[in-house]
Amino acid sequence: MSGALKGVRVLDLTQMMAGPFCTMLLADQGADVIKIEPPEGEATRTHGPHFADDQERHYGGYFQSINRNKRSICLDLKSQGGKQAFRSLAAGADVVIENFRAGVMDRLGLGFETLAAANPRLVYGAIRGFGDPRTGSSPYQDWPAYDIVAQAMGGIMQVTGQPDGPPTKIGPGVGDTIPAMLSAIGILSAVIHARTTGQGQFVDVAMVDGIFAICERAAMLQSYTGAVSGRDGNHHPMFAPFGTFPCSDGWVAVGCPKDHFWILLTEVMGQPELGLDPRYARNAERTSRREEVIALVTAWTLPCSKAELAGLIGGRVPFGPVNTVADLFADPHLAARGMLAQVGHAGSEQTATIANTPIRMTATPGGARQRAPMAGEHTDAVLAEAGLSESEIAALRAAGAVR
């Protein structure tokens, strides 16, 4: 069975994390994503880790994990031949997406308006640190931005970490991946609109905007109370208990957002009287006495192991162990859900295990189906599909416009 996006062609000019993660999401659901790289290949191909037997080093694990299911073509967009080849591809594409600084594609003569003149139904996506002037000019428009900048300026670092500690970066690169997911939603919305009306459009997601948008509680509190949200550590400002608790071999998460969960928890703790105690019976009282509640639950969890706690309250009260990636690789849940995808690796006899798509669909299942491409692996095939003859492709190759 084919993915739901079969027949959607995406020209992917993106690099690093945010853009490739967005197009990976589309490729996982069946879109034909053509990764357009410079003649030397995208720079992130050199990022490790690498398998020990991989002497060819076409790419490392970083590139593999977010460029699966794509085809690769190498074009020199600074050359006239490369530009013309790209225009030929764009004329038949549904989507073009890039994450250069604002104005780069316009200076190359390949901006949205130019491409849309030849292909009015084209959806043009852009992911930049501070957006594109087409949708709202930012005073920071020309600033370079990466994950850490988006996390800092978007507000998420200020509300992450321990109350008496510094602002804390979230481990995974959410400054990239969250804007990527939002961009995928915007692009698909625009594709549906284009197929209904024949009208394409420019889709713009600023990385800082994406991070600010998911800090919704902080924005709401500022508006309603004037309060500037601080750092709550691993506990919740509105529920108690609701956070992480130490145990003999690590940490566990326990949440009681509803009072009946608290009653169940106190029964398992062997202190059912706490469930009815007016100091703790309702969430409002527990929240006002949060430190007392945390201390009570901690005293119970600390002597137990994660497995013991799972046997006692797993399935009864919202609970989960704090897993390492090694724990997850051995977890029966991920195995049952097919979340550990196996793909080949160019230049190695080994098989790579990467995170599969979490989006499950009954009629059009997607997922990681094939390894990341070698640089320019599909150049001839893609250009031929765009109508170029063998002699035309050979001429472009001889001129250094394609690889």
Domain final residue, candidates 323, 343, 369: 323
Task: Determine, yes or no, domain membership for 51.
Answer: yes
Task: Determine, yes or no, domain membership for 236.
Answer: no
- CATH number reported for the structural domain that contains residue 120 in this entry: 3.40.50.10540
Full DSSP string of 356-367: PP----SSS---
Q: Are residues 175 and 265 in the same domain?
A: no
Q: Are residues 202 and 273 in the same domain?
A: no
For the chain, how many structural domains are there in total?
2
Task: Determine, yes or no, domain membership for 47.
Answer: yes
Out of 132, 176, 204, 209, the active site residue is 176
Task: Determine, yes or no, domain membership for 224.
Answer: no
CB 151 within 8 A of CB 175: yes
Task: Determine, yes or no, domain membership for 312.
Answer: yes
Q: Are residues 52 and 126 in the same domain?
A: yes
Q: Are residues 77 and 184 in the same domain?
A: yes
Query: What are the backbone angles phi and psi of residue 37, rounded to the nearest 5°?
Result: -115, 160
End-to-end C-alpha distance for the chain, whole angstroms? 32
Q: Are residues 267 and 181 in the same domain?
A: no
Q: Are residues 184 and 248 in the same domain?
A: no
Q: Are residues 94 and 38 in the same domain?
A: yes
The amino acid occupying position 205 is V
Q: Which pLDDT does position 219 carry in this prediction?
A: 87
3-class secondary structure, 402: strand
Q: Are residues 19 and 89 in the same domain?
A: yes
- CATH number reported for the structural domain that contains residue 285 in this entry: 3.30.1540.10
Task: Determine, yes or no, domain membership for 366.
Answer: yes
Task: Determine, yes or no, domain membership for 170.
Answer: yes
Q: What does the pLDDT profile of the chain (403 residues) look like in tens digits? A: 579 999 999 999 999 999 999 999 999 999 999 999 999 999 999 999 999 999 999 999 999 999 999 999 999 999 999 999 999 999 999 999 999 999 999 999 999 999 999 999 999 999 999 999 999 999 999 999 999 999 999 999 999 999 999 999 999 999 999 999 999 999 999 999 999 999 999 999 999 999 999 998 888 889 999 989 889 899 998 999 999 999 999 999 999 999 999 999 999 999 999 999 999 999 999 999 999 999 999 999 999 999 999 999 999 999 999 999 999 999 999 999 999 999 999 999 999 999 999 999 999 999 999 999 999 999 999 999 999 999 999 999 999 999 9
Q: Are residues 201 and 251 in the same domain?
A: no
Task: Determine, yes or no, domain membership for 335.
Answer: no
Put simply, whether the predicted model's pTM sits higher than 0.85 gets the answer: yes
What are the start-end ranges of the H helices in 121-173? 147-154
Q: Are residues 205 and 58 in the same domain?
A: yes
Q: Which pLDDT does position 288 carry in this prediction?
A: 97
Instruction: Look up 176 and say whether it is catalytic.
Output: yes
Which residue segment(s) compose the domain that 100 sits in?
9-214+358-398
Q: Are residues 45 and 141 in the same domain?
A: yes
Residues in Cβ contact with 132 at an 8 Å cutoff, skipping those fewer than 6 apart: 102, 126, 202, 204
Query: What are the backbone angles phi and psi of residue 30, rounded to the nearest 5°?
Result: 105, -5
Length of the chain: 403
**In angstroms, rounded to a whole number, what is the distance separating the alpha carbons of residues 47 and 356?**
20
Q: Are residues 68 and 162 in the same domain?
A: yes
